Structure 1
Amino acid sequence: MTYAPGLRNLITDIANLRVGNAQDHHLKSGSTVLVADKPFTASVHVMGGAPGTRETDLLAPDKTVQQVDALVLSGGSAFGLDACSGVAAGLRDKGRGFAVGDVTVPIVPGAIVFDLINGGDKDWDANPYAALGRAAFDTAADDFAIGSHGAGTGAMAARQMGGLGSASVVLPDGTTVGALVVVNSMGSVTTSGDRYFWAAPFEIDREFGGLGPDPAVGYTCPDPSLKEQAMGLHAARGANTTIAIVATDAPLSKVQCHRLAVTAHDGMARAIVPSHTPLDGDLVFGVSTNEDTPVDVSTFAAIGAAGATCLSRAIARAVYEATPTKTDLIPTYR
C-alpha cells in the first residue's frame, strides 16, 4: 500500500520533536540534534563494524534508563562526540535531565561520522564540536534544512557527496513514522551510472527526482568508489558510516524501540550497496514519543516496515539535496 508523507516530509512531522543543525563551512562539518518537549523512549542497534558512539550502552533494553533527553548526530569522528556535551549543557540550563537526588543529569546519546578528510580545514586550536552541538540545540525547530547541513555538511557517499536526510509517512490509523539520517557511506546510493537510486521503489511524490527504478537488472556491486579515489584507498577505508534515527508517535516500549531500530536497518540496506561493512559504523536509534500502553505485535509490524522505507527515502533525499562547494572532493548528485 502507498501512504502519504506528513506535512513537512521530515521527522518533525511527529508532534513535539524538533531538529537543530549547526555547521561550519570552513571546517566542512557540523552537528545535528533531535530534541523533544520532554524525555522520550529510545534504543539503538549497531550493524556496522566501526561505530563511534557516546552513551549508547544505556539504550540496551535491559538497562535502567528508559528515556533520553536528546540524540546527537555529528561529524568530526571521535572529536564530534563532544557535540553531545554542548547539547547536555543546553539541557542543563533548562533543568532537563535524569533525576539523581537533587541533581539532574541530561541523557544525550550520540553517534558520529568520519569527515576529517573532506576538503575542510580541520586545523583547529580547540575542539569546535561542543559549540556546534550547543548551537544546534539552541536552534532546534519544527522546520530544518536537509542536504549539506548539520552533520551532513561534509559527508560523502561512495559516488557522490552525502548529506543529511529526512522523510516521514502517515499510516491509515494516523500513526506518524519518520527518519533522520546522515549518509557518509562506503557503499553507493545509486546504481551503476549514478543516475538511479537504489531506494527508488520507495519514493513518494518525486521527493528525490522521480526517475523511478533502474531499468537494468543483474547488479551485484556499484561502480568503483570515487570517494576512495579522492581520499586514497587507505584513508577512505576508515572514513565511512551512516547514522540514523527512526521515530514514531505510536506508544512503544524500550524493547520495541530496539526492534524498530533493528528493522530500520533493512531500509539502510535497500538504499546503500553495500551496507553494514566492517569499515562502516552503521547504526540506527529507535524512538517513541508516546508513553501510553505499547502497541501489539501486529500493529508494531506495520510501524517497523514504515520505519524501514522512511529510512530508505531519507537516505536518497540526503544525497539528492546535497549542494556543491568549491572544496568538495567528489561531485554532488545534481
Structure 2
Amino acid sequence: MSQPKIAVVCQEGLPLDAFLDGLSESALVDAQVSLVGVTHEAVSSSAMFNGRPLAFGMIDDVDFSDADLVVVLESSLVVEASAAKLKAASCPVLGFERDLESLGPQSFEVAGVGSAKVIGLQQPAVLALKSLLSDSQLEGVDVTAFYPVSLFGKAGVNELAAQTARLLNVQPLEHQLFETQMPFNYFPLSAMDQMAELEAHTARELSAAFDTDDVHVKAFQMPVFHGQGLAVSVIMTDEVDLDALVETFESNPVVDYRASNKQLSNYEVVQQPGKLMVGDLRKSAVDPHRLDLWLGFDENQFAIGQTLISVAELLLKHYL
C-alpha cells in the first residue's frame, strides 16, 4: 500500500495514543498522519508517531482535500460543532457511531467497505461483547457497564486527578465537568444530563449486534482513569455448554480467560492492552440457557488500537 494520508480529528490523550500505537504496528505504519484539533487547547499540544513529532492544525484551517481518510476520535458534541466541515470531506470519515450521529453515519457492520461516506463503528462495549460471543445465538442480553472517566476525554481524566489531589491535601473540591465528588465515588451515568442517552444508545447497538429486542443496560461512572468492565448475563438459544465456551475462549488470542476470579480487577485489565479479560463464568442453576460472566478491557487499546485500525486498513485498501 502506498503512503495514505490520514487526518485525525482528536485531542491529546489516551484515544490518540492508542490510535498512533496501533497504526505503528499495522500495515499503515508508513501513513502520513496529520492531527486536527477543534479547540485552541488541543492545537497547543503535540504527539509522537514513529519517532517524529506531530503538531496539531486547527480544524477551521483544514479542508481535508488531501486526505485519503478522516478518523474522528472526538465526542458527539465536538463533532456536531464541526459537522459542516466534516461532511464536506471528499474522503471517507471513520469513527464511532455514537460520536458521529450528527453526520448520519452508516454502521460498518452493515455497510462494510461499500460506498458509505461516513462509517461508524459500534462503541467499545458492544464491539467487545460481540467479539467474545460472535458464534453464539442470543435471545436476551443484560449488561451492567462500568465506565472510566476517560469516557469524557482528557477533561475527565484531568478532573479525577485534580480532585484526588485536592482530597488528599484536605483542600475543597472544584467541580468543572462532574457535578459531584468523583474520587472514591460512583453513580449511574443516567443521572448526568450529557450521558442520559448512553444506556439507550448502548441497548440499541446491542440489539442490532445480536438481533434481539430483549436488551437491558445500566451504566455506572467509576473513579478510574481508563479500563472498562461489563457484568453480563445472556440468554442463549442453545443450552449453555461451559466446557465448549472455555475451550473457545482459551483458543482465542484476543481473550485472556481467567479461571480464577481473584484477578478480575480494573488494574489487571489495563495491564493487558488489547485483550478481553473474561472470568466469573457461570451457568444458571435454574435456567440452562442463561450464562453470566465478567468482561474487562482497555477500551482504547481494543476498540481503537485494534478494531478501528483494522477497519481503516480495509477502507484504504478499498478506496485507494
TM-score between both structures, scaled by the size of structure 2: 0.24
Of structures 1 and 2, the one with the larger relative CO (CA 8 A, separation 6+) is 1
TM-score between both structures, scaled by the size of structure 1: 0.23
> Which of the pair is proportionally richer in helix?
2
Structure number, greater radius of gyration: 2
